[in-house]
Amino acid sequence: MDNLEELIGVISAVRFVGDERFQILTVRDAQEQEVTLVAVCQPLNEGESVQARGTWGTHPKFGKQFKADRLITQIPQESKALGAYLASGKVAGIGPKFAARLVAHFGDGLRDVLGDEEALRAVSGIGKKKAVGIAASWNEYQDARDALIFLQGHGLGASRAMSVFRQLGQETIAKVSANPYRTLLKTRGIGFRIADAMAQSLGFELTHRDRLIAGLRHVVDARSASGHTLATSDELASEGAQLLGVDVARMASVVELLLAHEKLISVESGLVGLPSLVEAERTIATALLARAVLWNGCNQARVNGELSDGRVLSDEQRQALETCLAYGVAVLTGGPGVGKTTVTEVLAQTLDDAGLELALCAPTGRASRRMSEATGRPASTIHRLLGAGASGFEFNASNPIEADVVIIDEASMVDVLLFLALVVALPDHCRLFIIGDQDQLASVGPGNILRDVIGSGAIPVARLQQIRRQGPGSQITVQAHAVNQGNTPQSVPDSDFEIVEVPEGGDPELVCRVALRVATEDMLARGFDPLYEVQVLTPMHGGPVGTRALNEAFRSYHVPGDRGSVTIHGRQWAPMGANGRQWAPGDKIVQTENDYNRDVFNGDLGYVVSADAEDKTVLARFEDREVLFTSDALGKLQLAYAMTGHKAQGSEFPAVVIPLVRSHWHMLERQWLYTSLTRGKRRVVLVDHPSAIKRAVNHVTGQRRLTSLPIWLRQPALSVSPTHKGESYGQTSA
């Protein structure tokens, strides 16, 4: 950055040390002026010399300060300054008393003897044991200091430098210097681009073999992160060449090298993938095909009967149920309002009546609770069903789950590795029923399980198409299906679906303000609780209509107050977590990772009950139970007044508000809009620029994933019919 300035001086005071190694320091510069330095770095002490790059600014409360972008430190050489440095307690065994004795004894030569236990014993009061301890502590500290200076000197930020040293220890400099690609890419939190920048600073050539290999692996990992399990060899070579600035032919040879060493695996001509993902999909295919046989082990007496509440299955629903019951594995699919839940309920009841042990599961906690409510039977997350813990899954091929039938809902959300863990943990006799909407957003992780299985033609599929959930004034389902078919949704007066248009010239901030009004005042006027019954969905995290901006706007409405104080309007604010985030009673939150110790899972929604600033704890309510979060777990929580459509998948809300703007252009996509619309049960409102909604409807990309599962499933298949007694599904009779 060309506008960065430099500050050189000596730390005269450490004024504040906060979370995430945030520090406020007083530094005496070369002109003997005391200035305020703000930095995120390793813990610093008085007496240390600092050399910082950054920018000057003015804080509204604390005045002029220097915000460091990069900072390196040096231990002082002069005896007085070094004595003050040691007196701060930086080195174990040395306090103010011994620091003074050391300075008096060694003078300016003190720094040269701090690692020499024999020399230290010459000082009054320092015996052999204490001398050994001081020398060891000093040498260890020097190793850390040298490593951090080295890493930061080559462009690594202070926080990442500290993380690397903690993982590599005293060998940091030697290992990173020898090969940053092999070393840094094995450390947590370091990706290819950071490792590559470090390597370039160390003088590695652009065509270095390890750089080319690491770059190609980065390309493969990036494709996996986008959902793909395969790529063409040409794609990898081209993307690698673009990333690394080398010619395509050179990268093509690297692809061949990784294939030769089985770091990539060839699936079909020109198609390659990561061995772990390709083998996972092959194992899944084998498990599904083994179960794709006709099954006569269930009493079908209830198929044509009424449901317990008097509902009667339609002909389409009965046919779907018969298909599911006829095979050892089957898929039940369809869009919103077509009766998947009803068929699932009857399916579970039929299997239960037959005396079979059922296990119901879904990818998220909210989806599993919806499944339990719909069927009247216990349901869990897939992770919970498999006994997930810190060491992995309790149930696996060697220790299968105890169930005769497993029913999995919201299957479009399940990625390759989780589905693999499920199918390998099924006992041989266990039947599997897969339920979901293939037009919903695909899984965040790699793979496209539901769509691949349905499209293969190798597994029985029961399709529901007739809309069943529709009454007077009901338009949510109708408009969702319209979007899925590529048609622009229409606002219908006096219905549960509305479009509030913002003029094309209106800036995104206006869309944010309108969305806030719609989700609060308008919803309140229609009888909805804005906090507990209304969910805002948006495609992105950043920007004026992203989750971050919307969450701050909605939080100011729901939880007003100045967060610079401890207690505001009777609410106790607790500052903690990433970026100094503060929590207060009333905050709407979402869990972003599975936490098995607290029994909360990715996607679970809750509300802050209380926040303790002193203990740095938050008490939150999820559904009907309270969970205590300590400071180490708070980084897994995020505000949830607004969420992305991906995060909301598998959930339903009484009312949904969806703001759309042209600045979200590359994220506006038909699958995303369709999925978001179907999250609302009683009311859905779109707040949009007209061009934004048209872009979303016409932009189709989410289904385009290159995977190997269809290849492994691809073989001649019989058409689905429960009349083919004794034949294997997926094989011809010829």
Separation of alpha carbons 734 and 731, rounded Å: 9
Q: Which of the two residues, 250 and 560, has the higher pLDDT score?
A: 250
Contacts of 645 (CB under 8 A, 6+ apart): 441, 537, 538, 539, 672, 673, 675, 676, 679
Span 318-370, pLDDT tens digits: 999 999 999 999 999 998 888 899 999 999 988 988 899 999 999 988 889 88
Q: Residue 315, exposed/middle/buried by CB under 10 A (0-12, 13-18, 19+)?
A: exposed
Asked whether the beta carbons of 435 and 332 are under 8 A apart, the reply is yes
Q: Which amino acid is at 193?
A: R
Q: What is the pLDDT of residue 279?
A: 95
Cα 32 to the center of its chain, rounded Å:
48
pLDDT tier, 469 (very low <50, low <70, confident <90, very high otherwise): low
Could you give the CA distance from residue 362 to residue 376 in angstroms, rounded to a whole number?
15
| pLDDT at site 719 | 34
Q: Strand, helix or coil at 533?
A: coil
* Residue range 183-202, pLDDT digits in tens: 888 887 788 999 999 999 89
**pLDDT score at 309:** 64
Helix axes 670-677, 690-698, angle to 10 degrees: 110
Strand partners, 688: 501, 660
Contact 68, 51 (CB under 8 A): no
Comparing 647 with 406, the larger pLDDT belongs to 406
CA–CA separation, 117 vs 503, rounded Å? Answer: 77
Q: Do the Cβ atoms of 273 and 265 come closer than 8 Å? A: yes
Structure tokens given for 117: 């236990």
Cβ count near 55 (within 10 Å): 13
Q: How many CB atoms lie within 10 A of CB 557?
A: 16
In angstroms, the CA 621 to CA 531 distance is 14
More confident of the two residues 91 and 539: 539
Per the listing, tokens 């607290």 go with 598
Phi-psi domain of 306 (left: phi exceeds 0; alpha: psi -120 through 50; beta: other): beta
Residue by residue, DSSP assigns 325-342 as HHBSEEEEEE-TTSSHHH
Give the gyration radius of the chain's Cα atoms.
31
CA atoms within 13 A on the CB side of 42: 26
Whole-number pLDDT of residue 98: 82
d(CA 344, CA 339) in angstroms, rounded, equals 9
Crossing angle of the two packed helices 209-225 and 192-201, in degrees rounded to 10: 160
User: pTM higher than 0.95 for the full model?
Assistant: no
Residue 428 predicted with pLDDT over 90: yes
CA dist., res. 147 & res. 167, Å (int): 12
Give me the pLDDT at residue 734, please.
Answer: 28
Residue-wise pLDDT for 223-279, tens only, equals 998 899 999 999 999 999 999 999 999 999 999 999 999 999 999 888 999 999 999
| Residue 38 burial (CB count, 10 A) | 19
Residue 727 has pLDDT above 50, yes or no: no
Assess whether pLDDT exceeds 50 at residue 208.
yes
The average pLDDT across 441-464 equals 93
Distances from the Cα of 616 to the Cα of 578, 596, 628, 629, angstroms: 13, 21, 11, 9
Backbone dihedral region for residue 400 (phi beyond 0: left; psi -120 to 50: alpha; all else: beta): beta
Structure tokens given for 397: 């091929």
Q: Across the chain, what does the average pLDDT equal?
A: 84
Instruction: Render pLDDT for 570-580 as a digit per residue (tens, 0 to 9).
Output: 445 554 444 44
State the Cα–Cα distance between residues 689 and 501, nearest whole angstrom: 6
What whole-number distance in Å separates Cα of residue 86 and Cα of residue 120?
14
Give the alpha-carbon dihedral of 81, 87, 92, 93, to 10 degrees: 120
What is the model's pLDDT at position 673?
93
Q: Please, which contacts does 115-124 make with residues 24 or more away whose CB atoms are closer than 8 Å? A: 115/139, 115/142, 123/98
Tell me the CA distances in angstroms from 37 to 21, 153, 693, 713, one per residue in order: 14, 19, 47, 62
> What whole-number distance in Å separates Cα of residue 220 and Cα of residue 640?
32
How many Cβ atoms sit within 10 Å of the Cβ of residue 220? 23
Backbone angles phi and psi of 464, in degrees to 5: -110, 130
C-beta contacts of 210-214 below 8 A and 24+ residues apart: 210/179, 210/181, 210/182, 211/181, 211/244, 212/240, 212/244, 212/246, 212/250, 212/251, 212/254, 213/181, 213/254, 213/257, 213/258, 214/181, 214/185
pLDDT in tens, 132-183: 888 888 777 777 777 877 887 787 876 788 788 888 888 888 999 999 998 8
Q: Can you give the length of the chain in residues?
A: 734
- Copy the structure tokens of residue 163: 């993380």
Dist CA 358 CA 350 (whole Å): 11
At residue 431's C-alpha, the angle toward residues 427 and 436, to 5°, is 125
Say whether 601 sits in a helix, a strand or coil.
coil
Q: Is 14 exposed, middle or buried (0-12, 13-18, 19+ CB in 10 A)?
A: middle
Cα 655 from chain centroid (whole Å): 25
Highest-scoring range by mean pLDDT, 2-16, 299-313, 414-428, 690-704: 414-428
C-beta separation of 574 from 583 below 8 A = yes
Q: Which amino acid is at 384?
A: R
Check the CA dihedral 354-357-413-729 and report its sign.
negative
Question: Does 390 score more than 90 pLDDT?
Answer: no
Residue 578 per-residue DSSP state: G
Q: CA-CA distance, 256 to 116, in Å (whole number)?
A: 54
> DSSP readout, 454-507?
HHHSSS-EEEE-S-----TT--HHHHHHHHHTT------TTSSEEEEE--TTS-
210, 176 Cβ separation under 8 angstroms: no
User: Which residues lie closer than 8 Å to 714 by C-beta, 6 or more apart?
Assistant: 456, 458
Lowest mean pLDDT among 85-94, 120-129, 425-434, 656-665: 85-94
Asked whether residue 631 carries a pLDDT value surpassing 60, the answer given is yes
Q: What are the DSSP calls for 158-221, one per residue?
A: HHHHHHHHHHHGGGHHHHHHH-HHHHHTTSTT--HHHHHHHHHHTT--TT-HHHHHHHHHHHHH
The residues that bridge with 128 in the sheet, in sequence order, are none
